[in-house]
Amino acid sequence: MTEIDKVTAAPESPEAFSRRIAELSESLPKRLRQCAEHIALNLDRIAVSTVAELAEGAGVPPSALMRFCQIMGFSGFSEMQRLFRDAYSGARPDYATRLANLRDGGGGAPGALLAEFVDAGRASLERLAQQVNENTLETAVSMLSGARMIHLAGFRRAYPVAAYLAYAFDRMGVAAQLHSGVGHMDQARTFLPDDALLAITFAPYSGETVDLVKGALGRGVPVVALTDGPASPVALPGACILPVEEVDFGAFRSLSATLALAMSLSVAVGARRGAV
Amino acid sequence: MTEIDKVTAAPESPEAFSRRIAELSESLPKRLRQCAEHIALNLDRIAVSTVAELAEGAGVPPSALMRFCQIMGFSGFSEMQRLFRDAYSGARPDYATRLANLRDGGGGAPGALLAEFVDAGRASLERLAQQVNENTLETAVSMLSGARMIHLAGFRRAYPVAAYLAYAFDRMGVAAQLHSGVGHMDQARTFLPDDALLAITFAPYSGETVDLVKGALGRGVPVVALTDGPASPVALPGACILPVEEVDFGAFRSLSATLALAMSLSVAVGARRGAV
DNA sequence: CCGTGAATAGAATATTTATTCCATTTTTCG
DNA sequence: CGAAAAATGGAATAAATATTCTATTCACGG
């Protein structure tokens, strides 16, 4: 019987819902597990789908999906759906509307520009979350955590990111050096054993950054690069590449995703050093 | 009769939908206009609401809302709702799910950190879009557009933003000077007539920035400040304050919203100067 | 290989929700 | 002011949708 399950209260937030699925899915029989898997991968569709649609997606009859809802602690599908509908409306009251209004200001109006930049930033962040490879990220953190000194390279539009990293590392007591790019220094003296290089560069790539990366690799210094894809000139053998595809608006690139990735890196490194 | 209206095809995107409402709402009778207004302010709820709910929100009987749907060119409410449900599911395929999965990596995992930063960034951007005052923004752009030279002040965590602005203004051929903060310079020589100061500062506010703002105001130099609210020490009489509430994660502040606002400002100023 | 209990599928039903229709009210205009 | 047209509200109906029920299948232990 499922009586034991029904005693447990229904999840009250999408997060709790996810957790509950993770707990249960081990012990579920075939059809119910199919439901759990499909639902877990399509949480965002619950609010706008019918039982029949979700059931078809999961490859089960509607009645199986109903049983799933009840095992999750809800009285039925409608109750489960209400959770997601409420969460949806609550989370972004009328953000889309507001954005549309700002845009309507028209061509040159600052508000319209802002709407575009906000949208580009948000799109970049969402894309980053979907495309990031956790293993690569983990590798990058390991490489940087082991370094005695972290060199930071980023010029032109990448410079603000490098500058932010310098600030963050400084705050956490991690030794880091922000390279200025003016006056090519003697790389033999710059890169010491146990150093690492964190480079940030996007098309059009700056020559200084590429040179620094090559120099570091030539000396066996580990390199982590935030760049815009595997076609980048810094995507050389031995370098750990973290791709970030920013959404552009006009000639100007949102840095939201790059900064979010940079912040995660720096905090993860700081935490691993035990400095926070 | 509404026959003329029915000839016009239904909007095929939320944007077209908004435009259509704007066109129509002038010419609608009382109840239908109530529908139009309530719907326009709650576009995001259409996907997850019933006719009865929306009608109640608008203060009209369900039948009035049905008529509204038909005047908009749809066969009925269901067809209108489909537009928004499709747009919703299409826009963010399973971003929320992905984010939840990243978070599940657990405490120290870099992926979990990234999920938090992405979320903080997105929340900041959405809040900015909702809270920004278009008039203040317009004032800021006017003040900066009229300046011969724009001075940029931002230190510590605000420095990356100032650096980005310096880059953007440079690219657009707008004269701008990034202040370093080291070695207090003689402000009488720094600020010339027709200059303007753009300051970026957040709690804990850096003394240098506050000093620069006070100096500029004392010399009659217009000041625009990106800061975290009216309680900021740079919110002095005469300064144009652009409030940005960033969402923090831990000790680290997402800069997404600040950057988006900074970029809009710079591009708007560049455009007004005719430099782009 | 059979019996027992859980799991399942699909049909039957109940409920919710959308949609239409028409009598009544309000507005418009001669 | 009065007739015609438009708009409205609410009840009646139709459609979609959720939910339950039951016969059947499946898995497992004796």
pLDDT band with cut points at 50, 70 and 90 for residue A185? low
Query: Is the torsion defined by CA of B156, A156, A230, A153 positive or negative?
Result: negative
Rounded-to-10 torsion of CA A96, A101, A103, A105: -170
Residue A97: what pLDDT?
Answer: 61
Q: Nearest CA to CA, how far is A186 from chain B (Å)? A: 26
CATH code linked to domain B3-90: 1.10.10.10
Q: Please name the residue ranges forming H helices in chain A.
A: 3-7, 14-25, 30-41, 51-58, 62-71, 77-91, 95-104, 110-131, 134-145, 159-171, 187-190, 207-218, 256-272
Q: Does A170 touch chain B (CB under 8 A)?
A: no
Residue B75 DSSP SS3:
coil
Which residues 15-54 of A have a C-beta within 8 angstroms of B? 15, 18, 22, 40-45, 47-48
Is a pLDDT exceeding 90 seen at residue A83?
yes
Share above pLDDT 70 across residues of chain A, in percent, rounded to a whole number: 85
Which residues 243-262 of A have a C-beta within 8 angstroms of B? 250-252, 254-257, 259-261
pLDDT tens, position by position, B207-252: 889 988 988 888 889 999 999 888 888 888 889 999 998 887 777 7
Instruction: Find, in chain A, the residue whose alpha carbon is nearest to that of B260.
Output: A117
Higher local confidence (pLDDT), B18 or A144 = A144
Alpha carbons B223 and B206: distance in angstroms, whole number: 16
Query: What average pLDDT score do residues B5-17 get?
Result: 74
Cα dist from A177 to A181, A214, B67, whole Å: 12, 18, 66
Q: Give the least confident one: A236-240, A270-274, B112-116, B267-271.
A: A270-274
In CATH terms, are A3-90 and A133-272 the same topology? Answer: no
pLDDT band with cut points at 50, 70 and 90 for residue A95? low
Which nucleotides in chain C have some atom under 7 angstroms from a protein Cβ? 6-11, 16-21, 27
Higher local confidence (pLDDT), A18 or B2 = A18
pLDDT tens, position by position, A32-63: 999 999 998 888 889 999 999 999 999 999 99
Higher local confidence (pLDDT), A41 or B140 = B140
Residue A131: what pLDDT?
Answer: 85
Q: Do A263 and B254 touch (CB under 8 A)?
A: yes
Per CATH, the homologous superfamily of domain A133-272 is Glucose-6-phosphate isomerase like protein; domain 1 (3.40.50.10490)
List, in sequence order, every residue forming a beta bridge with A209; answer none if it has no partner.
none
DSSP-derived secondary structure for B207-262:
HHHHHHHHHHHHTT--EEEEES-TTSTT--TTEEEEE--PPEETTEE--HHHHHHH
Alpha carbons B179 and B152: distance in angstroms, whole number: 6
- Domain borders along chain B are 3-90, 95-129, 133-272
Residue A1's nearest nucleotide, by CA–C1', is: C6
Share above pLDDT 90 across residues of chain A, in percent, rounded to a whole number: 42
Residue B235: what pLDDT?
Answer: 86
Q: Does B130 touch chain A (CB under 8 A)?
A: yes
pLDDT band with cut points at 50, 70 and 90 for residue B188? low
Alpha carbons B202 and A211: distance in angstroms, whole number: 36
pLDDT band with cut points at 50, 70 and 90 for residue B3? very low
Question: Please, are residues B143 and B240 in contact by the beta-carbon 8 Å criterion?
Answer: yes
Q: Who among A14, A108, A168 is closest to B271 (CB)? A: A108
When the pLDDT of each residue in chain A is averaged and rounded to a whole number, the result is 84
Residue A1: what pLDDT?
Answer: 38
Q: Do B110 and A161 touch (CB under 8 A)?
A: no
Q: Do A126 and B97 touch (CB under 8 A)?
A: no
Residue B139: what pLDDT?
Answer: 93
Residue A4: what pLDDT?
Answer: 38
Residue B140: its chain A contacts at CB < 8 A?
110
Is a pLDDT exceeding 50 seen at residue B183?
yes
Residue A61's nearest nucleotide, by CA–C1', is: C9
Q: Is the CB of A169 under 7 A from strand D?
A: no
Q: Do B156 and A167 touch (CB under 8 A)?
A: yes
* Nearest protein residue to nucleotide C5, judged by CA and C1' positions: A1
Q: Is the CB of A32 under 7 A from strand C?
A: yes
pLDDT tens, position by position, A118-175: 989 988 998 898 888 888 999 999 999 999 999 999 999 899 999 999 999 998 889 9
Which nucleotides in chain D have some atom under 7 angstroms from a protein Cβ? 6-11, 16-21
Identify residue B130 by its one-letter amino acid code: Q
pLDDT band with cut points at 50, 70 and 90 for residue A6? very low
Residue B90: what pLDDT?
Answer: 53
When the pLDDT of each residue in chain B is averaged and rounded to a whole number, the result is 85
Instruction: Find, in chain A, the residue whose alpha carbon is nearest to that of B91.
Output: A123
Instruction: Find, in chain A, the residue whose alpha carbon is nearest to that of B119.
Output: A125
User: Most confidently modeled of A11-25, A119-133, B160-174?
Assistant: B160-174
pLDDT band with cut points at 50, 70 and 90 for residue A194? confident
pLDDT tens, position by position, B21-50: 988 888 889 899 999 999 988 888 899 999
A33-CA/D24-C1' distance, Å: 21
Is a pLDDT exceeding 80 seen at residue B181?
no
Q: Does A149 touch chain B (CB under 8 A)?
A: no
Q: Does B104 touch chain A (CB under 8 A)?
A: yes
Alpha carbons B166 and A196: distance in angstroms, whole number: 28
Q: Is the CB of B50 under 7 A from strand C?
A: yes
